[in-house]
């Protein structure tokens, strides 16, 4: 059944004749029953100077441009072709063609009978032909592109006479953002026009748009899946995925490595109950699946290839749209990894090197030599020396020279911890082990120091009852937290330090003999400062430069140097450092004199023969140093007075003063800055 009655067709023909014959713009004559969308298109065509009587075939895209267009619209063509083929099967043999055009009106794909494609009536339907309104006048493809609406253009509704033999039905293909991607069109003989044709085209266009949406969603899902897969495979934690029966379905590479499974081997674990790996005692998996209960940071111990490994485990149930548990995700974090992170941000690492130990005396160089050799082994080290001699500097230097330098360095002062707490501090405790114990328990210093070094300072002050536990840990390399029966392996190097004679403590019965011989594998004695007097000035200058934040270039008087070298430094290097800090804080100007020293140093006198011997040795060193420094100080002071006097005589004129001294202005300015002389 035709769409239009004969009188309607004649009316459109009369309207077209009247419109195209009138050179001036004409108002719409409703007597011709011309649809508004057709009339508006005719007006656009006239404004674009389209020749209504042009009988030439449409221009064709050049081959290179055609290939670019086809590549650019490849996805749309691939999706549309099956639907175009279905449409063609419906109209096959009827002289109709099915065409797909791009957003400029160029035909990208076409289906039709062989005789249809060569028929003069449909000769302008070919790949690369342009059917925009500007090129082909009013037509379904071009007008649908302008309006963005589906349309059927029949017979004399076409602006160009050569297309009056056609009926064209076109529908735009639009994405989810409302952007037109292309036009689907079915065209054939005008006498075969039927509204159902447009309905079929619109339905096919809707199906293409739905498929485009599905394809887009699939791409988005693919991208998300790839991202999740990458995250799954690159996570630093072990991830185990299980189904609703607790059977392992997937593991990431870290989990395989943790569990001692080959990275490419999945058959050994798929189908296994996760509890067969994590242990039946760890009931959090059952609670996760059966009770939909999340679990965070459960402490578990796994026997992997005969070795006990320590982990934090977390579990999260996976549910469907109805809230039914379909499986779960289990996260495994090695406790050692977490401890390393905690140590890193809590400052539990060594920063000092052997280069930070200042001194050239034989005694200190010998201590450094032995410590350097000890750094290459994993044996226990016992550092002996008075308070303030720098035992922790040696401990950190040994750690940083050793293979464990990437691990934590944790220092514990055994003399500063109450005797009733030292056990929990070193070995940790379980939840509820005693009143006030933290929820979840707490790891001890041995656990935190795994992979690194534990420095036990003032080991001689450790209570006797805890020495037994320490000896057991050193022998077995395992700890038991207080109130817990779990055995935790620890890989720790122990360096101890003391200012006492441990042998004397053994004789007194306050220190266990077996523990002493366990600790005293490599013994290093750090000499007190009074026995390395030749290092005092080097240390003094080092601390002076380090403490001075304003680059004052201090001038130290010979009397100060004499007192510093003569003093016996009972507080050793630590006391010297404190004295220098006092000097830097209280000295006005650049000159350091006796008034800047503490009274105990200025007034110090040797009280016994040994002290007199040390003082005598220090006196000779002071005389040698003061001979040089004293002369330098006197010359500088003399030059300073000369500059002040000349500036006064020349009323502050720098040029005249420099000329009198026989130096340049720049040299004089530099000396004035050095001596803090201001005009």
For residue 242, which of 265, 279, 274, 266 has the smallest C-alpha distance? Answer: 274
Ranges for all domains in the chain classified under CATH 1.10.8.60: 534-673
CATH architecture of 347-527: 3-Layer(aba) Sandwich (3.40)
DSSP 437: P
Instruction: For residues 479 and 653, give the distance between their C-alpha atoms in angstroms, rounded to a whole number.
Output: 79
Instruction: For residues 106 and 486, give the distance between their C-alpha atoms in angstroms, rounded to a whole number.
Output: 77
What pLDDT is stored for residue 486 in this prediction? 77
Radius of gyration of the chain (CA): 47
Task: Print the SS3 string covering 520-564.
Answer: CCEEEECCCHHHCHHHHHHHHHHHHHHHCCCCCCCEECHHHHHHH
Three-state secondary-structure class, residue 498: strand
Give me the average pLDDT of each 10-residue run along the chain (679 residues): 44 77 53 82 93 84 93 94 93 89 95 76 84 94 95 92 92 93 93 83 95 91 88 86 87 84 58 76 79 80 72 86 88 75 64 89 93 91 93 94 89 86 85 72 84 92 89 89 81 92 91 92 93 89 83 80 88 92 85 86 71 51 50 66 81 84 83 76
What pLDDT is stored for residue 89 in this prediction? 92
For residue 98, which of 86, 84, 78 has the smallest C-alpha distance? Answer: 84
What pLDDT is stored for residue 351 in this prediction? 84
Ranges for all domains in the chain classified under CATH 3.40.50.300: 347-527
What pLDDT is stored for residue 68 in this prediction? 95
Non-local (6+) Cβ contacts of 326 within 8 A are 243, 244, 318, 319, 320
The two beta strands, 409-413 and 295-304, are unpaired
Ranges for all domains in the chain classified under CATH 3.30.450.20: 235-335
**Partners of 328 in beta bridges:** 242, 317
What pLDDT is stored for residue 280 in this prediction? 65
Q: Are 171 and 24 in contact (CB under 8 A)?
A: no
For the whole model, what pTM was predicted?
0.55
Instruction: For residues 320 and 605, give the distance between their C-alpha atoms in angstroms, rounded to a whole number.
Output: 86
Burial class (CB in 10 A: 0-12, 13-18, 19+), 73: buried
Backbone angles phi, psi at 382, to 5 degrees: -115, 115
Q: How many CB atoms lie within 10 A of CB 492?
A: 23
Three-state secondary-structure class, residue 109: strand
Three-state secondary-structure class, residue 70: helix
DSSP 18: H
Number of residues that this document lists for the chain = 679
What pLDDT is stored for residue 7 in this prediction? 45
For residue 108, which of 212, 216, 184 has the smallest C-alpha distance? Answer: 184
CATH architecture of 6-216: 2-Layer Sandwich (3.30)
Q: Are 329 and 241 in contact (CB under 8 A)?
A: yes
B/e letters for 4-20, b = 16+ CB within 10 Å, e = fewer, are beeebbebbebbbeebb
* CA separation, residue 556 to residues 472, 535, 676 (Å): 54, 17, 15
Chain-centre distance for alpha carbon 456? 35
Ranges for all domains in the chain classified under CATH 3.30.450.40: 6-216
What pLDDT is stored for residue 74 in this prediction? 94
What pLDDT is stored for residue 30 in this prediction? 45
Q: How many CB atoms lie within 10 A of CB 417?
A: 19
Non-local (6+) Cβ contacts of 101 within 8 A are 107, 108, 131, 141, 145, 182, 183, 185
Instruction: For residues 608 and 131, give the distance between their C-alpha atoms in angstroms, rounded to a whole number.
Output: 116
Q: Are 622 and 565 in contact (CB under 8 A)?
A: yes
B/e letters for 328-354, b = 16+ CB within 10 Å, e = fewer, are bbbbbbbbbebbbeebeeeebbbebeb
* CA separation, residue 196 to residues 1, 156, 370, 398, 540 (Å): 10, 20, 100, 91, 103
Pair of tokens at residue 437? 């114990």
CATH T-level assignment (fold) for domain 235-335: Beta-Lactamase (3.30.450)
What pLDDT is stored for residue 4 in this prediction? 42
Alpha helices for 402-557 (secondary structure H) = 422-427, 445-448, 464-476, 502-508, 513-519, 536-547
Instruction: For residues 170 and 187, give the distance between their C-alpha atoms in angstroms, rounded to a whole number.
Output: 8
Task: Print the SS3 string covering 262-299.
Answer: CCCCCCCCCCCECHHHHCCCCCHHHHHHHCCCCEEEEE
Give the position of tokens 């080092």: 542
Give the position of tokens 């001699």: 389
What pLDDT is stored for residue 607 in this prediction? 64
* Consecutive H or E run containing 567: none
536-547 vs 558-566: helix crossing angle, rounded to 10: 120
List the CATH code of the domain at 534-673. Answer: 1.10.8.60
């Amino acid at each position: 059944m035709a769409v239009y009655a004969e009188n309607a067709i004649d009316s459109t023909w009369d309207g077209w004749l009247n419109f195209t014959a009138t050179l001036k713009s004409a108002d719409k004559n409703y007597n011709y029953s011309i649809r508004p969308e057709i009339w508006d298109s005719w007006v656009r065509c006239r404004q674009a100077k389209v020749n209504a009587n042009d009988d030439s075939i449409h221009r064709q895209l050049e081959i290179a441009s055609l290939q670019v267009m086809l590549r650019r619209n490849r996805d749309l063509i691939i999706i549309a072709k099956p639907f175009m083929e279905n449409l063609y099967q419906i109209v096959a043999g009827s002289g109709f063609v099915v065409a797909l055009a791009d957003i400029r009106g160029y035909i990208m794909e076409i289906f039709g009978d062989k005789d249809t494609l060569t028929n003069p009536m449909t000769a302008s339907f070919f790949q690369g032909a342009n059917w925009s309104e500007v090129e082909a006048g009013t037509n379904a493809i071009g007008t649908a592109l302008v309006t963005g609406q589906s349309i059927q253009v029949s017979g004399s509704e076409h602006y160009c006479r050569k297309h009056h033999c056609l009926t064209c039905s076109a529908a735009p293909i639009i994405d989810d953002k409302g952007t037109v991607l292309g036009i689907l069109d079915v065209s054939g003989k005008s006498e075969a026009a039927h509204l159902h044709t447009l309905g079929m085209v619109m339905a096919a266009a809707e199906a293409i748009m739905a498929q485009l949406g599905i394809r887009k969603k699939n791409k988005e899902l693919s991208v998300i899946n790839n991202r999740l897969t990458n995250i799954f495979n690159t996570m630093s934690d072990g991830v185990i995925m299980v189904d609703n029966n607790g059977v392992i379905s997937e593991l990431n590479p870290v989990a395989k490595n943790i569990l001692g499974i080959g990275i490419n081997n999945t058959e050994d674990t798929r189908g296994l109950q996760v509890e067969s790996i994590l242990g039946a005692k760890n009931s959090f998996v059952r609670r996760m699946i059966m009770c939909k209960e999340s679990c965070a940071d459960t402490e578990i111990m796994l026997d992997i290839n005969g070795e006990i490994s320590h982990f934090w485990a977390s579990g999260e149930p996976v549910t469907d749209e109805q809230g039914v548990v379909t499986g779960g995700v289990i996260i495994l974090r090695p406790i050692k990894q977490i401890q390393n992170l905690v140590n890193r941000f809590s400052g539990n690492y060594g920063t000092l090197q052997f280069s930070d130990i200042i001194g050239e005396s034989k005694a200190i160089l010998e201590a450094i030599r032995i410590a350097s050799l000890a750094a290459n082994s994993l044996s226990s080290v016992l550092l002996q020396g008075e308070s303030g001699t720098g035992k922790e500097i040696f401990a950190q230097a040994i750690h940083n020279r050793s293979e464990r330098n990437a691990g934590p360095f944790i220092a514990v002062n055994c003399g500063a911890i109450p005797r009733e707490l030292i056990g929990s501090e070193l070995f940790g405790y379980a939840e509820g082990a005693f009143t006030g114990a933290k929820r979840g328990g707490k790891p001890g210093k041995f656990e935190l120091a795994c992979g690194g070094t534990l420095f036990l300072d003032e080991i001689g002050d450790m209570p006797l009852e805890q020495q037994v536990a320490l000896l057991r840990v050193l022998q077995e390399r395992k700890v038991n937290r207080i109130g817990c029966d779990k055995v935790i392996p620890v890989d720790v190097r122990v360096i101890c330090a003391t200012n006492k004679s441990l042998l004397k403590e053994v004789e007194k019965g306050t220190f266990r003999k077996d523990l002493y011989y366990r600790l005293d594998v490599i013994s290093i004695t750090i000499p007190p400062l009074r026995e390395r007097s030749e290092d005092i000035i080097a240390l003094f200058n080092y601390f002076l430069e380090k403490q001075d934040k304003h680059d004052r270039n201090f001038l130290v008087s010979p009397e100060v140097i004499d007192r510093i070298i003569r003093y016996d430094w009972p507080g050793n290097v630590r006391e010297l450092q404190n004295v220098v800090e006092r000097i830097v804080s209280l000295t006005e100007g650049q000159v350091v004199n006796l008034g800047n020293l503490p009274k105990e140093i200025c007034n110090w006198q040797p009280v016994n023969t040994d002290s007199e011997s040390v003082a005598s040795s220090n006196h000779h060193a002071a005389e040698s140093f003061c001979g040089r420094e004293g002369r330098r100080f006197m010359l500088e002071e003399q030059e300073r007075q000369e500059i002040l006097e000349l500036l006064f005589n020349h009323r502050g004129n720098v040029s005249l003063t420099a000329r009198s001294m026989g130096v340049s202005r720049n040299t004089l300015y530099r000396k004035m800055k050095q001596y803090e002389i201001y005009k």
